[in-house]
Structure 1
Amino acid sequence: MFAEKSYSKHYVNINVKKVDIYNFPTRVDGNHHVVTQVKGRPLRLIYIGRIAAVRGVFEMLEAVSQLTREGIAVELLLIGESEQNVLQEIISFIEVNELQNHVDYKPYINYENIWEYYFEADAGICLLHPVPNYTDSLATKIFEYMAASLPMIVSDFPIWKQLMDENKCGMAVCPHNIDDIKKKVCPFYSTIPCVSKWGGMDVITMKKKYNWEIEGKKLINFYKTLR
Structure 2
Amino acid sequence: MDDKIKVLIASVLKPADDVRSCYKIGQSLAQTNKYEVNIIGFESKKKVENENIFLYPIFKFQRNSFKRLYAPVKVFKKYLKLKPQLIIINTPELLWVMFLIKILFGTKIIYDVQENYQFNISQNQIYRGLPKYLFKYYIKITESLSRYFVEGFLLAEEVYEQQLSFIHHKPYIKLLNKSILSIKQEIEPLTLSKNNPLKFIYSGTIGAEYGTLDAIELCKKIHYFNSKITLIIIGYSADSKYLKIIEKAVNKVAYIKLITNNKPIAQSAIIQEIKNSDVALLPYRLNPNLAGRFPTKIYDYLALHIPMIIPPHPEWKSYLHQYSAGLTVDFNTPDVERLQKELHNSSFFVNRPKEEILWKSQESELLHFVEKILS
Structure 2 letter corresponding to 1:166: Q
Output the CA distance in 2 between the equivalents of 1:222 and 1:60: 40
**Which range moved further: 126-135 or 64-73?**
64-73
| SS state at 1:19 partner | strand
Structure 1 letter corresponding to 2:348: W
- What is the aligned counterpart of 2:282 among 112, 122, 126? 126
| SS state at 2:155 partner | coil
- Deviation by residue 1:90-143 (Cα, 9 ceiling, x = unmatched): 232234xx6x22111101431123222111111111010011222210000111
Output the CA distance in 1 between the equivalents of 2:193 and 2:270: 23
| SS state at 1:76 partner | strand
- Contact kept in structure 2, 1:149 and 1:200, CA below 8 Å: no
Residue 366 of structure 2: aligned partner = 219
Distance 1:63-1:49 versus aligned 2 partners, 3 A rule: same
Q: Compare CA radii of gyration and give the structure with the larger one.
A: 2
Distance 1:182-1:120 versus aligned 2 partners, 3 A rule: farther
**1:60 is aligned to 2:215:** yes
Output the CA distance in 1 between the equivalents of 2:339 and 2:163: 36
Residue 9 of structure 2: aligned partner = none
- What is the aligned counterpart of 1:16 among 170, 193, 202? 170
Distance 1:185-1:209 versus aligned 2 partners, 3 A rule: farther
Output the CA distance in 2 between the equivalents of 1:186 and 1:76: 19
Output the CA distance in 2 between the equivalents of 1:11 and 1:90: 35
Q: CA deviation at 1:153?
A: 0.8
Output the CA distance in 2 between the equivalents of 1:200 and 1:116: 24
- What is the aligned counterpart of 2:199 among 31, 44, 50? 44
- Contact kept in structure 2, 1:26 and 1:213, CA below 8 Å: yes
- Contact kept in structure 2, 1:76 and 1:104, CA below 8 Å: yes
Residue 273 of structure 2: aligned partner = 117
Output the CA distance in 1 between the equivalents of 2:211 and 2:321: 22
**1:169 is aligned to 2:319:** no
Unaligned ranges ≥5, structure 1: none
Output the CA distance in 2 between the equivalents of 1:38 and 1:172: 19
Output the CA distance in 2 between the equivalents of 1:71 and 1:115: 26
Of structures 1 and 2, the one scoring higher in RCO (CA 8 A, sep 6+) is 1
Residue 256 of structure 2: aligned partner = 103
* Runs ≥4 residues deviating over 6 A: none
Distance 1:79-1:171 versus aligned 2 partners, 3 A rule: same
- Deviation by residue 1:151-176 (Cα, 9 ceiling, x = unmatched): 11112212111112223211223332
Q: CA deviation at 1:78?
A: 0.4
TM-score scaled to structure 1, two decimals? 0.81
Structure 2 letter corresponding to 1:103: I
**Which range moved further: 66-75 or 211-220?**
66-75
Structure with greater strand percent: 2
TM-score scaled to structure 2, two decimals? 0.51
Distance 1:123-1:199 versus aligned 2 partners, 3 A rule: farther
- Contact kept in structure 2, 1:80 and 1:106, CA below 8 Å: yes
Residue 231 of structure 2: aligned partner = 76
Residue 114 of structure 2: aligned partner = none
Aligned CA-pair RMSD? 2.6
Structure 1 letter corresponding to 2:181: R
**1:137 is aligned to 2:293:** yes
| SS state at 2:156 partner | coil
Q: CA deviation at 1:217?
A: 1.7
